[in-house]
Amino acid sequence: MVQETQHMKELPELVEAAKSGDREAYDALLRRFQPMAYAIANRYLEDHHLAQDVVQEAAFEAFVHLQELKEPAAFPGWFRQIVFR
């Protein structure tokens, strides 16, 4: 039930909740954007395992630096840039 509730939240709400320490909100963000991140990483690396590693590292970096994200609605592009780096 919690996952359904988190999934229904709008993106800015999820980001703000995650910034406040709500781990379930951060997990919901990852569920929503990991497929996009994997697709980008796999397209450039052309290696399933390396792409998975990149996404895992990007998810950690995003978690560590989430407080730096000023505009919650910008999360998808911000996360994409972390994947690229």
For 56-81, the pLDDT digits (tens) are: 999 999 999 999 999 999 999 999 99
Q: What does the pLDDT read at residue 9?
A: 76
Q: Give residue 8's pLDDT.
A: 55
State how far the alpha carbon of 45 is from the alpha carbons of 39, 50, 52, 74, 83, in Å.
Answer: 10, 7, 10, 25, 11
What pLDDT, in 10s, does the model give residues 33-57?
999 999 999 999 999 999 999 999 9
Q: How open is the CA angle 76-43-38, to the nearest 5 degrees? A: 45
Domains and their CATH numbers in the chain: 2-84 (1.10.1740.10)
In the predicted model, is pLDDT for residue 1 greater than 50? no
Q: What does pTM read for this prediction?
A: 0.86
3-state secondary structure of 21: coil
Kindly state the DSSP code that residue 20 receives in the 8-state scheme.
T
